[in-house]
């Protein structure tokens, strides 16, 4: 049976960690190296680092900071932010990053992604999509940190990127980000049959029960920020991660393989 992955997501702007709400209201929450050291002790499945300023500035990844983070990280590390060409990926892999996440640069010519897949393998290249719920209830991909609607429909974008060879898809929900009221279950159920590769959902988790609901709804893995770095109604900074017994209880009776078949049958 495949293990259900529970993945903390750390956002940084400059050299400091931040946490957002609906991709805005950015709040400083500490030092990334300190957070990584704590997660090392908690047997975290994987870790995602996002530089939320890299694409906007056009400077590309902050290799010095990534080198420091990778050097401290004992679990598989994925990085996203400003990745726009094969050379970026090559350097990130050389620093110890195991997966790279491409978001903004996936909106356009995907020939370079096909080249990267041939060179590094699809398992190391993840598609990131920032999805926003519209006023009429539909969903669309966004760019520029959720502030601008992309020119392509969500299902068309997912289909083209999977055909290009992306090995995983990480969906970030703009409208639930940081709210800790649960994932967008309707979106998960809608996307599960469309995504043929491992499907990670992020945005909205506030308790362990939300993680189970997302997996039961069709996600292959769950990711989150606030649930792992903030605590209580006053949102005090506390780096934490559920113990294995709590996760085993939360996911009891769920199987990823059976789950995907069941979700497909529902549609």
**Own/partner pairs for 81-87, CB < 8 Å, 24+ apart?**
81/49, 81/50, 81/51, 81/52, 81/53, 81/54, 81/55, 82/51, 82/54, 82/55, 82/57, 82/58, 84/55, 84/60, 85/112, 86/112, 86/115, 86/116, 86/119
Whether pLDDT at 74 is above 80: yes
Can you say whether the dihedral through the CA atoms of 79, 81, 84, 87 is positive or negative? negative
Q: Quick one: pLDDT at residue 258?
A: 47
Q: 58-67 pLDDT, tens per residue?
A: 888 999 999 9
**Residue of 51, 130, 184, 220 marked active site:** 130
Q: Quick one: pLDDT at residue 151?
A: 95
Whether pLDDT at 200 is above 90: yes
Q: Quick one: pLDDT at residue 266?
A: 41
Whether pLDDT at 56 is above 90: no
* pTM (whole model) above 0.75: yes
Q: Quick one: pLDDT at residue 260?
A: 53
Whether pLDDT at 116 is above 50: yes
Q: Quick one: pLDDT at residue 264?
A: 47
Q: Quick one: pLDDT at residue 1?
A: 54
- The yes-or-no answer on residue 130 being catalytic is yes
> Taking all residues of the chain, what is their mean pLDDT, rounded to a whole number?
93
């Amino acid at each position: 049976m495949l293990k259900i992955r529970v993945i903390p997501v750390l956002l940084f702007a400059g050299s400091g960690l931040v946490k957002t709400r609906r991709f805005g209201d950015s709040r400083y929450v500490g030092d990334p190296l300190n957070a990584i050291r704590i997660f090392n002790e908690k047997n975290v499945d994987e870790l995602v680092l996002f530089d939320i300023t890299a694409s906007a500035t056009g400077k590309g990844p902050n290799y010095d900071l990534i080198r420091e983070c990778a050097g401290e990280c004992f679990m598989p590390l994925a990085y996203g932010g400003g990745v726009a060409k094969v050379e970026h990926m090559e350097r990130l892999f050389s620093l110890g990053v195991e997966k790279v996440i491409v978001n903004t640069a996936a909106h356009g010519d995907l020939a370079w992604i096909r080249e990267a897949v041939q060179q590094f393998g699809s398992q190391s290249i993840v598609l990131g999509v920032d999805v926003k719920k519209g006023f009429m209830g539909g969903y669309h991909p966004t760019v520029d940190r959720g502030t601008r609607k992309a020119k392509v429909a969500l299902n068309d974008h997912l289909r083209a990127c999977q055909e290009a060879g992306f090995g995983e898809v990480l969906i970030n929900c703009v409208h639930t980000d940081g709210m800790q009221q649960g994932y967008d279950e309707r979106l998960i159920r809608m996307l599960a049959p469309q995504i043929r590769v491992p499907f990670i959902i992020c945005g909205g988790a506030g308790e362990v029960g939300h993680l189970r609901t997302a997996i039961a709804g069709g996600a292959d893995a769950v990711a989150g920020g606030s649930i792992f770095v903030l605590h209580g109604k006053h949102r005090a900074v506390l780096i934490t991660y559920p113990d294995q017994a709590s996760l085993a209880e939360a996911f009891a009776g769920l199987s990823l393989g059976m789950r995907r078949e069941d979700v497909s049958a529902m549609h």
